[in-house]
Amino acid sequence: MAFGQVLVNWLLLGSLYAAVALGFSLVWGIMNIVNLAHGAFIVVGAYIAFWMYRQLHIDPYIGIPITMAALFIIGWIVQYVAINRVIRAPFLVTFLLTFGLDLLITDLVQQIFSSDLRSINTTYAGNGFDIGSIHIAFDGLTAAAIAVLLTAALSYFLSRTRTGNAILATGMDRDAARLMGINIGRTYALTFGIGAALAGAAGAMFAELYPFNPSAGGPFTLRAFVIVVLGGLGTPWGVIAGGLAFGFAETVIPLFPGIGSGYDDAIAFAVLVAVLVFRPNGLLGKAFYS
């Protein structure tokens, strides 16, 4: 494959990965919760986009606000009803709880939509333009643009708005934030809702680009984790760096002779261990919000 094409594929995949990990990073950074149901939220987003396309003929990209709103409500409820109750428990408890939610949501999706492989075939799928020998697909480019846009929006929201500042403050010091009059329970629910909404957006983009089934969520969670570790648990922009770094590993490693495709999880895992051993604070070397 030509060098330029690999480069383009890498950039598009990398930014899509950033969208996958954005909400995960926010929830982890603010609440110290590794949300294993993140992949399940992405799958729910994908199915909402699929359903809207099938039944209401809404384009997945146009429908992203609706998908995000739906996931926001789901995320808010999950946090308010379940996770807020164990937020002070040892991490193992929250970790296990989100795993339980993951199983529950995935199974419910499977009951509703069956485990068939689904895909959305828009009329413009595969269309694009060529620069020399490099092909750039419109849908991939749009997804990358939306991913960057979402990152910028999240960054702006956190640093420039009052609510965003409240979220950051809660992440820095829960008790001090409470003393400043911030309602912790509601802030957490809001944070988790935003995290789920971002997962929903990623799901809609994924549904547009690739076929999926209910069990597609697990690999996303693992990837989101690796991406966040790569980028460092810092700002939303760290997620873009992590997404690009991980996209690079996934695009380039299979090109080496003797490896071939099919080892996605193994690559993710190898990257994870390598980063944790050599750069525990991520590539940008900033150890978060905290």
Q: Which residues bind another protein (CB under 8 A)?
A: 28, 34, 82, 84-97, 99-108, 111, 184-185, 188, 218-219, 222, 225, 229, 262-266, 268-270, 272-273, 276-277
Pick 111 or 121: Cβ nearer another protein: 111
| Complex with another protein: residue 125 or 184, whichever CB lies closer | 184
- C-alpha radius of gyration, the chain, whole number: 19
In the bound state with another protein, the residue whose beta carbon lies nearer, of 21 and 105, is 105
Nearest in space to 182 (alpha carbons), one of 169, 193, 192? 169
Helix or strand or coil: residue 33? coil
Question: What are φ and ψ of residue 262, in 5° steps?
Answer: 105, -10
The one-character DSSP state at 288 is: -
Distance of closest approach, residue 37 Cβ to another protein, in angstroms: 9
Smallest distance, another protein to C-beta of residue 289, A: 15
Which is nearer to another protein, 205 or 233 (by Cβ)? 233
- Choose between 106 and 151: whose C-beta lies nearer to another protein: 106
Minimum distance from CB of 145 to another protein (Å)? 30
CA 85 – CA 80 distance, rounded (Å): 8
| Min dist. Cβ of residue 179 to another protein (A) | 14
d(C-alpha 250, C-alpha 204), whole Å: 22
Q: Cα dist. 50→58, 119, 209, 242 in Å?
A: 9, 7, 12, 28
Are the C-beta atoms of residues 33 and 98 closer than 8 Å to each other?
yes
Smaller CB distance to another protein: residue 149 or 276?
276
Tell me the closest approach of the beta carbon of residue 16 to another protein, in angstroms: 21
Backbone angles phi, psi at 135, to 5 degrees: -100, 130
Minimum distance of another protein from residue 35's CB (angstroms): 11
What does the alpha-carbon distance between residue 78 and residue 100 come to, in Å, rounded to a whole number? Answer: 12
